[in-house]
Every structure is written in C-alpha cells, then in structure tokens.
Amino acid sequence: MHLYVHVPFCARRCSYCDFAIAVRKNVPSARFVDGILREWSWWQDEPFARAPLDTLYFGGGTPSHLDATELARLVAGLRGRSEPGETTLETNPDDVTPERARAWVSAGIDRVSLGVQSFDPAVLAWMHRTHRAEQVVPAVQVLREAGIGSISVDLIYALPPALARDWSRDLDLALALAPEHLSLYGLTVEPHTALGRWVERRESKVADDDRYAGEFLLAHERLTAAGFEHYEVSNYGRAGHRARHNSAYWQRRPFLGLGPSAHSGMGTRRWWNIREFAPWQVAVEGAEPAGVMVAVEGEAFPASVDGWERLDAERIRLEDLYLGLRTVDGLAVDRLPAATLKGWIDAGWATERAGTVRLTVEGWLRLDALVAQVA
C-alpha cells in the first residue's frame, strides 16, 4: 500500500504553479491534521487500507509548513503499526532548521525532497520562490546532521532565454550537494498561472524545443557521468535510492491519496478528492464521524471524494505503454508492433534486449509522440 498526503499550504504561489494550494500566513496545522486523520479513518473498512504501508509521501503545497509536532502526530496516526520502507517530506530550503529537522527525523521522516529549482537569485525571484540561493547548502547540512539519509534535489530546466540562466552551473552546484537523488522538470506553461499570463501578454517567451532538448541531454550526460542512474524520464538516483513512492505510480501499484486534490488508484478504478482546501475541509468536518459514504456518480465514496472513473481495457493498455516506456525497466517487446519497434530502433530512439524494449535518452525526448504512434 502506498499513501500520499497533499498538504496544500504555501507562503506564496510560484509563477509556474497550477497545483491546488492555499496561501496562508498562519497554517491551521492541528485542524488540518484532524481532517486528514478523519478522512483516513473512513477508509479503514477497506482491505487495501489495512495493508502495511510500503511508502508514505507528504507532498504539496509545502508540507514542511506544518507545525512539526502536528506533523509527528499525523505520521503516527497514518502509520499505525506499519513501518514504511520510505517516508518522504517535501520541503523548501527556508523551512529547514535544526529543530524542525530533528523533529522530522524523530517523527519517522527518512527522505526529504528539497525544492531548490535553481541557484540563480534572479531566477528564484522570477519564479516567486520564497528561499534564497544561499540557504540551500546550509539546509542540506542541517538535514544531514539531523540524520536524513536520503535527500532528493528538485531543479527546473528549459527556462525563458531572457533569464540567461546558466544550466551547467546549476548542475554543478546541485552535484556539489552530494544528494542521493535528483528530479529535473522541464518548465511547462499552464493556464491561469502568472507565467501563463506573462506568455499570453508576450512578456515572457518560453524555451524552444532545441533549448529544451539541449538542457535535457546535458543533464543526462553530466549526471550519469557522476554515477547517477537515469531511471525515469525526470529522475536520477544513486544505487539503492530510486524514489520508491513514485516508482509505485509508474508500476501501477495501489495508492491512496488523502487531502484536497489528492488522487487514488486501485486496480481499474481512479478517484480524486475535492480540489480546494476550504470545501475539502467543510466536507471532512461536516460528515458524520463514521464517514458516511456518499454517492459520487453512482458509486459510494467518503464525503471528501469529488469524482471517479473506471479504466477500460484500452485505457489500461495505453497507460501500461506510457508508464513502461518512461522508465529504464521498459516493457515486453510483444507490447509493440514489430514494424514500429524496428523504426524506433533504427532511429536510435529505443533498444531491445532479452525481450524488453527500453527507450534511449533521445527516445525519452519524444515519449509522448512515440506513445501516440501506438495509441
């Protein structure tokens, strides 16, 4: 069983962010934790919710904004008697203090995903990030001293050329932190974000395909040379440090999401919670203590659920193709038409060995287009 908790609170919204967040100066930590534990209790009659937790992941938003004592209460309430193999907390560098880090470790956090994004002060300001570049190194040192043994660093590439961001320098500085894992995401422009409005008004111009590809390939070259395994399109890990929680998604294992906007998947079913924090909170606090199941499109779910769907055989086939091709584990050769596979191999986009197809780094650049060919 893999459990995800969406903690929506942020100090401000980043310029590119379209996630379900709640900007709060004062975070209602105790009330939020009560709500999550109540939502969790509603699932306890389901067999999957009684299975031991393999991974527990706190994402957001900024989960490190929660009061450390309340976070510890939340971890304990979710884990029960389970000892997850991986418990991850997303945090920003400016949230890391010795007191908080020690409290996180004491609560059971053993992996931290650090939202660095860039080491360039001008870029951080453009992104509306709350931390300063000079806070990153001390944050990593504090996490190490507290006993966090697995640190992942997040970076964003393919930024607008006008920012003159030095991607090579950012990679150097990230490697100097000696993290166990890195997640690198190409910037995307989403509607209803500050970046979306800037692009619409032509105040900002996104990176073209050549720049995107060049920075993607440079990261692959530099990080694999440094000993990292490029095990998924956006993720690199040292031996033994693949992200177990995210890997569960790519392998279509069962996962349950708690909190506003969280998604869940069990077999052929997918469902999602009420997106925004305030109505989610109303639903959770207003429902009966026992968690009266309410009808959502003809199916019974707890009051926090907003909608659901059942995947048909074709959707599952396409999902398996997409998820299989995005990792180095690949997929069985018989899942692809022989002529299509030969074309990919001849173009240098895929390899085939021992009955398994894997995309090359050049193939990963074309992942969406390649999957569309067999849709």
What are the pLDDT digits (tens) for 123-133?
999 999 999 99
Checking if the pLDDT of 229 tops 80, the result is yes
pLDDT score recorded for residue 145 = 98
- Per-residue pLDDT, 188: 94
Q: What is the pLDDT of residue 231?
A: 98
pLDDT tens figures, 295-334 = 667 778 899 999 999 999 999 999 999 999 999 999 999 9
> Within a 13 Å sphere around the CA of 192, how many CA atoms are in the beta-carbon half?
3
Phi (first) and psi of residue 227, to 5 degrees: 100, 5
The predicted-structure confidence for 86-122, as pLDDT tens digits, reads as follows: 999 999 999 999 999 999 999 999 999 999 999 999 9
Helix and strand element counts for the chain (H, E): 14, 19
Q: Which domains does the chain have, with CATH numbers?
A: 2-250 (3.20.20.70), 313-373 (no CATH)
Confidence label for 80 from pLDDT (cuts 50, 70 and 90): confident
Please identify which residue in the block is written with the tokens 């032509």.
202
Which pLDDT value is given to residue 292? Answer: 56
Percent of the chain with pLDDT over 70: 97
**Which pLDDT band holds residue 28 (cuts at 50, 70, 90)?**
very high
C-alpha distances out from residue 51 to 4, 46, 75, 89, 284, Å: 15, 9, 16, 22, 23
pTM of the model: 0.95
Look at residue 375 in the predicted model and tell me its pLDDT. Answer: 85
**CA torsion sign, 185 to 274 to 194 to 122?**
negative
